[in-house]
Amino acid sequence: MSTRVVLLAAGKGTRMRSKLPKLLHPLGGRAMVLHALGAAAEAAADGPPLLVVGHGAEALRAAVGDGAEFVEQAEQLGTGHALLQAKPALQGKADLVLVSNADLPLLSGDTLKQLLAAQQANPGPFTMLTLRQPNARGFGRVKRGAGGEVLAIIEEAEATPEELAIDELNVGAYCFRGDWLWPALEKLKPSANKGEYYLTDLLEIATAAGERVEAVVLQDPHEAIGVNTREHLAEAEAALRGRINRRWMLEGVTLVDPASTYIEAGVTIGQDTVIWPNTILQGQTAIGADCSIGPNTVVRDSRIGDACRVEAAVVEMAVLENQVDIGPFAHLRKGSHLGDGVHMGNFGEVKNSTLGPGAKMGHFSYIGDATIGANVNIGAGTITANYDGEKKNETVIEDDVFIGSDTMLVAPLHIGKGARTGAGAVVTKDVPAHTVVVGVPARAVRKLEEPD
Ligand code: UD1
Ligand code: CA
C-alpha cells in the first residue's frame, strides 16, 4: 500500500506573537518544521512529504528547499481545509495518507510508523493518535463510547465543563484511508465557534456513518508537546535537550550537569569526553574522544580532535587537532586551525589563521590572517596588525620562531625560521631566518647560530 505524509504548516501561529513564522522558530538549533519533516521522511518513503503552507509560505519554502512538496492554502480556514488542499496532489495516488500538525516537533518517526501500522490493520477509515494526560494544554479532548470506541474530538473552545475534564487528548496525528478521506473532507461544516473547518470533525463524520475509528495511545508525553506559545517552545526545547543529553550519556560521554548542557541535534561527541556545566555545543560540531570541554564554553560549527581541553572559551568555525589546550577566556573565530598540541592561554583571539603543531600563545594575543609554523612561541601581548584601514594583510611566521612579549607584527610580514623578536618590538619589515630584531621600528642586531 502506498503511503504519503501531509504536514499542516499554513497556520498563522498568532499565539507565538512573533514576526517569524511559528514553524521557523528553532528548536535544538533547527527550525521546528525540519524536525517534523525528518520524522515524516522516516515514516513513509513513497514520495516526499507534502507541506501545506500559507502564512509565511515564502520563508518556509526557502528554509525547507527540496525537503518537501509544497501545497498552498491561500486562506487559513482551519486544519480540515488545510488538508483538503492536498487532494489534487494525492487523490487516487496514495492508499494511505498520514497527516500530522507540523507544530509537533518531537513526534518521532517511530510513532508515525506505529500509527501507519495500526491503520494498515484497520478496515475502518482512519486511526488517530491520543495521549492520556491531565494537563490538556489546549488540546482537543477525545470522547469515547461505552465500549471504549472513540466517538468525537471536542475542541477546547467548544467543550462543556464535563468534556474539559476528559484526560484523553488528540495529539494531532492521523492515518487515513485515501479513498475515504477526500470525499469526507468535502463534508466538513464550519465550526460554530470560529467558523473554521476542523479536521477533527472527521471523527464524527465517520462514527455517524457507523464506521469504526481506531486510536493509538502514545506513551511518551514529550512527543506530544505541541508548540503554540513561547512557553511551549521552551518546554519542547527542554524535552529535546533531555533526549539528546541522554543519548550522549548512553554513548559514553560524561555530562557533569545535564541541566546546564546544551547540545544541538547536529553535534557528535567521542567516548570519555567530559562536558562541564554551562556548555553550549551548536551547529555542525564534532568533538573527539577524551576531551574536557567547559565549563562556560560555546562551540559552534567546529571540529575538535581527541584529548583536547577547552575551558571558558568561544570557538566558532574553527578546527582544533589533537591535544590542543585552550582557555580560559580564549576566542577562536572563523578559519582558525590549531595543530596538534597547540596551547592557547587566557585572553587570546585567533581569526583565519593556522598555528602549527606545538605552537604556544599563552597570554593576551591577537593573531589574524596569519600562518604560523611549528613550535613557535608567541610572547604575551603579541598582536598581528593585519588591517591597514583598507585591506587585511597576511603574516607568515616560520617554524621555531620566538616572538618576544608585546611585539607588534605589522602585516604584510614574513618572519624566517628560527628568528627572534625582542620585547616591545614593532616589526614593519620582513625578518630573515635566524635573525634577532629589536626596537621601534625593529632592526636586526645579530645573527643566531643555526642548529644542525
Ligand atoms: C489542533 C487540533 C486539536 C489538537 C491539537 C494538537 C484541530 C481543529 N484541532 O489544535 O484537536 O489537540 O491540534 O496538536 O485540528 N494549520 C493550517 N491551516 C489552518 C490552520 C492550521 O495549516 O488553516 C496548521 C497549523 O500551522 C498547525 C496545525 O495546522 O501546524 C495545527 O493548527 P493549530 O492552530 O495549532 O491547532 P491547535 O489549536 O493546536
Ligand atoms: Ca497546535
pLDDT value at 192 more than 90: no
CATH superfamily of 3-224: Spore Coat Polysaccharide Biosynthesis Protein SpsA; Chain A (3.90.550.10)
CA–CA dist 374, 384 (Å, integer): 18
CA–CA dist 371, 290 (Å, integer): 28
For residue 9, name the pLDDT band (cuts at 50, 70, 90). very high
For residue 335, name the pLDDT band (cuts at 50, 70, 90). very high
CA–CA dist 396, 55 (Å, integer): 53
230-447 has which CATH code? 2.160.10.10
> Could you count the other beta carbons within 10 Å of the beta carbon of residue 82?
26
Q: Please state the φ and ψ torsions of residue 32, each to the nearest 5 degrees.
A: -50, -40
Q: Output the pLDDT for position 196.
A: 95
Say which residue, 254 or 45, is predicted with more confidence: 254
- How many Å lie between the centroid of ligand 2 and the Cα of residue 376? 58
CA–CA dist 79, 52 (Å, integer): 10
User: Which ligand has an atom closest to residue 138 CA?
Assistant: 1
- 158-170: average pLDDT: 96
Report the residue among 18, 70, 79, 158 best suited for mutation to probe ligand 1: largest number of ligand atoms under 8 A from its CB: 79
Atom of ligand 1 nearest to the CA of 197: 8
Instruction: Tell me what percent of the residues of the chain surpass a pLDDT of 70.
Output: 100
Contacts of the segment 113-120: beta carbons below 8 A, 24+ positions apart: 113/42, 113/43, 114/216, 115/173, 115/174, 115/175, 115/216, 116/3, 116/43, 116/44, 116/175, 118/175, 118/214, 118/216, 119/175, 119/176, 119/177, 119/214, 120/1, 120/96
For 248-273, how does the pLDDT look when each residue is reduced to its tens digit (9 = 90+)?
A: 999 999 999 999 999 999 999 999 99
| Alpha carbon nearest to ligand 1 atom 14, residue | 172
| Alpha carbon nearest to ligand 1 atom 28, residue | 101
Q: Which residues surround ligand 2, an ion (CB under 5 A)?
A: 103, 226, 228
In the residue annotation, 25 being an active-site residue is answered as no
- How many Å lie between the centroid of ligand 1 and the Cα of residue 28? 22
Q: Output the pLDDT for position 423.
A: 98
User: Which ligand has an atom closest to residue 8 CA?
Assistant: 1
Domain boundaries, the chain: 3-224, 230-447
For residue 452, name the pLDDT band (cuts at 50, 70, 90). confident
Please list, in sequence order, all residues whose beta carbon lies within 8 angstroms of the beta carbon of residue 23, skipping any fewer than 6 positions away.
9, 13, 31, 32, 33, 36, 56, 60, 102, 103
| Alpha carbon nearest to ligand 1 atom 35, residue | 228
Q: Output the pLDDT for position 44.
A: 83
pLDDT value at 65 more than 90: yes
- Write out residues with Cβ below 6 Å of ligand 1: 8-11, 52, 73, 76-79, 81-82, 101-104, 139-140, 153, 155, 169-172, 198-200, 226, 228
- 300-307: average pLDDT: 98
Q: Output the pLDDT for position 69.
A: 98
pLDDT value at 182 more than 90: yes
Instruction: Specify the pTM.
Output: 0.89
pLDDT value at 197 more than 90: yes
For 409-432, how does the pLDDT look when each residue is reduced to its tens digit (9 = 90+)?
A: 999 999 999 999 999 999 999 999
For 71-127, how does the pLDDT look when each residue is reduced to its tens digit (9 = 90+)?
A: 999 999 999 999 999 999 999 999 999 999 999 999 999 999 999 999 999 999 999
Q: What is the mean pLDDT of the chain?
A: 97
| Alpha carbon nearest to ligand 1 atom 34, residue | 11
For residue 446, name the pLDDT band (cuts at 50, 70, 90). very high
pLDDT value at 66 more than 90: yes
| Residue tagged active-site, from 81, 363, 414, 434 | 363
- 379-407: average pLDDT: 97
For 340-374, how does the pLDDT look when each residue is reduced to its tens digit (9 = 90+)?
A: 999 999 999 999 999 999 999 999 999 999 999 99
Q: Output the pLDDT for position 451.
A: 82
- How many Å lie between the centroid of ligand 1 and the Cα of residue 49? 18
For residue 25, name the pLDDT band (cuts at 50, 70, 90). very high
User: Which ligand has an atom closest to residue 32 CA?
Assistant: 1
Q: Output the pLDDT for position 195.
A: 92
Q: Which residues pair with 348 in a beta bridge?
A: 330
CA–CA dist 364, 319 (Å, integer): 20
pLDDT value at 285 more than 90: yes
- 296-308: average pLDDT: 98
Atom of ligand 1 nearest to the CA of 226: 14
- How many Å lie between the centroid of ligand 1 and the Cα of residue 101? 6
| Alpha carbon nearest to ligand 1 atom 25, residue | 11
- 216-223: average pLDDT: 97
- How many Å lie between the centroid of ligand 2 and the Cα of residue 55? 14
- How many Å lie between the centroid of ligand 1 and the Cα of residue 102? 9
- Nearest alpha-carbon partner for 359 in 333, 324, 385: 324
Which residue reads 477509515 in cell numbers? 125
